[in-house]
Amino acid sequence: MAEQKRFEKGKMVPVPSHSIIPERDLDKSPILECSHLGIDFGGLRAVDEFNITIGRTEIAGLIGPNGAGKTTVFNLLTKVYQPTRGTILLDGLDTAGKITAQINRMGIARTFQNIRLFSNLSVEDNVKIGLHNQEKYSALTGVLRLPKYWRQEKAAHERALELLSIFDMQDLASHQAGSLPYGAQRRLEIVRALATNPSLLLLDEPAAGMNPSETAELMENIVKIRDTFQIAVLLIEHDMSLVMGICEGICVLNFGRIIAKGTAEEIQANPAVIEAYLGKQQ
């Protein structure tokens, strides 16, 4: 594994596009830049004027009441939906016209709110499917089992176990993915996403259905993943202890629009956010 470098929770500084990123990422170009991103479903503006900048090693949070359009933003970033308006720059490259599989190869990996594992396959195979584009041998090599097949399969096996060990799941490698307990399935989805070697990891409600101690462990692990792989993380989460605990920059969405951006302290004090969550003070 890459040499670990621990990042302290960064001081956030503004960047030109009226977003903020951690100070340590200032000298590098941001990993993700969205400008004027939006999508309409018929007459409904599901997401509008979504502008965000995420630094190379930032852990960013996307929060908002139910139905605010958070998962839609993820689906736009990964091109499950094609945006109606706006641009997405990933590592400085425009993603217009790309399909989901290409977006993954460009560096975005994600997990899903409702778990989407390959449930009939083993845990190890799930991770190996994540490694699909790093294994480079043709279908014919696989059928003929040439030496290249054995070399790469051995490497994939070792890499899969190494990735599973992040969550201490290497002993579950031969289990069927669909038979795992709920929390383990969520963790496996993260491992599978990491296996695709992303530079930006999107986590859709990673702590959903977890108890407080599991959530605390997950928080540590997300930070550990960021430190180990030196990647950016954008997460959707309703558990405020997790969001306020690890997210450096937080973006609040309501009715498809960003209503606030800032650090945890700024968000907690923002009247618009309080109104969106608790309603207007009488």
- Judged by CB under 8 A, the residue of 1, 2, 44, 139 near another protein is 139
The dihedral region occupied by 218, where left means phi > 0, alpha psi between -120 and 50, and beta the remainder, is: alpha
Asked if 143 is part of the footprint of another protein (rule: CB under 8 A), the reply reads: yes
| Cα-Cα end-to-end distance for the chain | 55
* Cα 227 versus chain centre, distance: 15
- Judged by CB under 8 A, the residue of 84, 85, 89, 142 near another protein is 142
CB closer to another protein, 4 vs 179: 179
x-marked contacts with another protein along 103-132 as a string, rule CB under 8 A: -xx---xx-x---xxxxxx---x--xxx-x
Among 3-11, 169-177, 214-222, 231-239, which window interacts with another protein (CB under 8 A)?
A: 169-177
Site for another protein in 72-91 (CB under 8 A): 78, 80
Contact 58, 21 (CB under 8 A): yes
CB closer to another protein, 195 vs 231: 195
- The tokens for 97 are 């016209």
Asked if 135 is part of the footprint of another protein (rule: CB under 8 A), the reply reads: yes
Asked if 227 is part of the footprint of another protein (rule: CB under 8 A), the reply reads: no
SS3 assignment, position 148 = helix
- The tokens for 114 are 């409702």
Could you count the other beta carbons within 10 Å of the beta carbon of residue 227? 15
Q: What angle do CA 248, 238, 123 make, to 5 degrees?
A: 90
> Which residues are near another protein by CB under 8 A?
78, 80, 99-102, 104-105, 109-110, 112, 116-121, 125, 128-130, 132-133, 135, 137, 139, 141-145, 149, 152-153, 156, 173-175, 192-193, 195-196
